[in-house]
Amino acid sequence: METDSVSETIKAWIAFDDEERRLRAEIKKSNEQKVLLSKKILEFMRSNEVDKFALEGSGAGTLTRSVRTTRPPVKRANIRKQLFVHFADQPQRVTEFLRELEGAPVTEGAPANVKKTEVLTRVVPREKKI
């Protein structure tokens, strides 16, 4: 009796797992299509200098284009190299400074390779609860 129950439970679990895998594959395809469409929309918005679309329909919201600027993280090897270049006559002081710096985040200096990313977001107004 118990083996039948376990067997049915396993079959149900496998069915749910198969359904979940199928849904994940569909979501992946949908996301790929969304990325392609987003590129087209962003290109249109960029070329026409539009930053926001108000979408028609009840609760459709807005599409907004924004540009995000990110900088790559500062690497310890780059800091070390630049310090030794600028303070070549004081290698002992550079070594001491690097020991003190260990583990402390570096916030000064702007790397030359700044990356800008355009992002398309949809804002949907919240439904009012009655």
**Predicted TM-score of the model (pTM):** 0.53
pLDDT at residue 57 in the model: 77
Is 116 within the bounds of a domain?
A: no
* 66 closest CA partner among 82, 45, 86, 90: 45
pLDDT at residue 114 in the model: 65
Domain tally, the chain = 1
Distance, in Å, from the CA atom of 34 to the CA atom of 40, rounded to the nearest integer, reads 10
Radius of gyration of the chain (CA): 27
Structure tokens at 36: 């392609």
The separation between the first and the last C-alpha atoms of the chain, rounded to the nearest angstrom, is: 50
Confidence of residue 12 (pLDDT cuts 50, 70, 90): very high
pLDDT at residue 30 in the model: 97
Confidence of residue 104 (pLDDT cuts 50, 70, 90): very low
- Tens-digit pLDDT profile for residues 41-86: 999 999 999 999 888 876 788 899 998 888 888 887 888 788 888 8
Is 79 within the bounds of a domain?
A: yes
* 109 closest CA partner among 69, 82, 87: 82
- What is the residue-averaged pLDDT of the chain? 83
Q: Which domain holds residue 105?
A: 74-109
Is 65 within the bounds of a domain?
A: no
Is 41 within the bounds of a domain?
A: no
Is 95 within the bounds of a domain?
A: yes
Is 101 within the bounds of a domain?
A: yes
